[in-house]
Amino acid sequence: MTSISDLFRLDGRVACVTGGNSGIGRTMALALAEAGADVALVGRDPERLEAAGVEVRSHGRRSQCVPGNLADRADLARVVEAVSKGLGAPDILVCAAGINERPSMTVLDADVWDRTMRINLDAPFLLARAFAPSMAERGWGRIINLASLQSVRSFNNSGAYGVSKAGIAHLTRTLAEAWSPRGVNCNAIAPGFFPTPITRAVFSDPERAKSMAARTMIGRNGALEDLRGATVFLASRASDYITGQVLFVDGGFSAG
């Protein structure tokens, strides 16, 4: 029988993490590296990518930094090729890149809608389509998408972002239906309120941040380290019998 500690190890695995240069994506990437995975980091800021890559290597793991614009399908295809030729076809795909421009549906224009869907919803689909077949050939893989509280609740001008994250929740389930019989488990993490570039407006207003914390059962907003355990759990053999699920890491916000 595999030991509990070994269930959570990722030695010999390769992970690809989009949005890996900052915020939640960076936190997830470093958690995977600490658990033993080599990590390909994808993002738009080469300098911040390289800084994250240095941190991955500080855990004794290999890193690859792939700058790219996931809103551009040609560039996304280039990213897929670069990752595959670099560290190799990933065993773990984490789609953490996302944008939230926050215009209300009353003023939302088609350009913002299209840009949001391309990055938040289309890119995870296209990346899964690119990488899942090789995972299935090897008989093991993990796809972890990033959902949101706004996958299930509309508030705070959720707009196109909320729609895209509701789509991610169901994309995760349909990917699970398609790929889980071949060993590729697909799940999503839905964070509550965490300090990231997307939530800067919330955290810059102390009263607003306090009111969000009061809506949780734990009584505080999230800290990025709160996501580390959930990430490693869903990426490892510890989650072998879990697929098609959205795991809310939100201090009980969604349950209240």
228 vs 46: CA distance, rounded Å: 24
169 vs 10: CA distance, rounded Å: 25
3-state secondary structure 128-196: HHHHHHHHHHHCCEEEEEECCHHHCCCCCCCHHHHHHHHHHHHHHHHHHHHHHHHCEEEEEEEECCCCC
**161: annotated active-site residue:** yes
31 vs 242: CA distance, rounded Å: 20
Separation in Å, CA 77 to CA 39, 94, 213: 18, 16, 40
165 vs 117: CA distance, rounded Å: 9
From the list 27, 87, 161, 227, the catalytic residue is 161
For residue 59 the two structure tokens come to 């855990």
Containing 52, the helix (H) or strand (E) segment is helix 46-58
List, by residue number, the catalytic residues: 161
